[in-house]
Amino acid sequence: MSLKLSYQLMNSDEVSTTLNRIADDILKANSGRPLVLIGIQRRGVPMARRMAVRMAAKMQREPQIGTLDINLYRDDLTRVASQPVVQKTEVPPNIDDRDVVLVDDVLYTGRTIRAALDALCDFGRMRTIQLAVMIDRGHRELPIEANFIGKRITTKDDEVVEVRLKEFDGEDAIYVMEKI
């Protein structure tokens, strides 16, 4: 499958502003309670780290951070790759009775989040699990909704939302791509 650029949805400044707003919304909604941010591998991880820095500046302490690989929990694993690449999972100890915010780049069908919930529940029984995403593009197959959304857009089935982050791609930008 090849992709062709349709349009740029966000530039670097807009990505930064949106991450800061999401971080502020999370703090406001959680009334200063200690939080654990868990970034879903890959792009959710640097997003969670950036939001944690913003939160630390506002509340004088940084939330705990973790990373979560969901590849082995996917229900479409055989469709995605014959040999899945398993990445690091590092969840802070003692997340029982804690407020956890899962962080991901794009919410689409809901299947990634379902897999993340399954994986996360193997680590304990959290007080709450909330979801923060940069882009919600609709097309849900499962009844999953984000608590914190950077931007909600309408896409076609033949489009892909590509979030690019400096940590992986050398730039911060979000593009809508057309499958060709």
pLDDT in tens, 6-53: 999 999 999 999 999 999 999 999 987 889 999 999 999 999 999 999
Domain 12-72+85-156 CATH class label: alpha beta
Q: pTM of the predicted model, to two decimals?
A: 0.92
Peptide bond just before 140 cis, omega within 30 deg? no
- pLDDT computed for residue 123 by the predictor: 94
Q: What is the mean pLDDT of residues 71-99?
A: 75
pLDDT of residue 60: 77
Read off the pLDDT band of 110 (50, 70, 90): very high
Q: What Cα–Cα distance (Å) separates residue 74 from each residue in 70, 78, 84, 98?
A: 6, 9, 10, 25
> Does the pLDDT at position 77 exceed 70?
no
Give the model's confidence band at 76: pLDDT under 50 very low, under 70 low, under 90 confident, else very high: low
Distance CA 160, CA 179 (A): 7
Question: Which of the pair, 143 or 62, is modelled with greater confidence?
Answer: 143
Closest CA to 91 of 83, 82, 100: 100
Which residue ranges make up each domain of the chain?
12-72+85-156
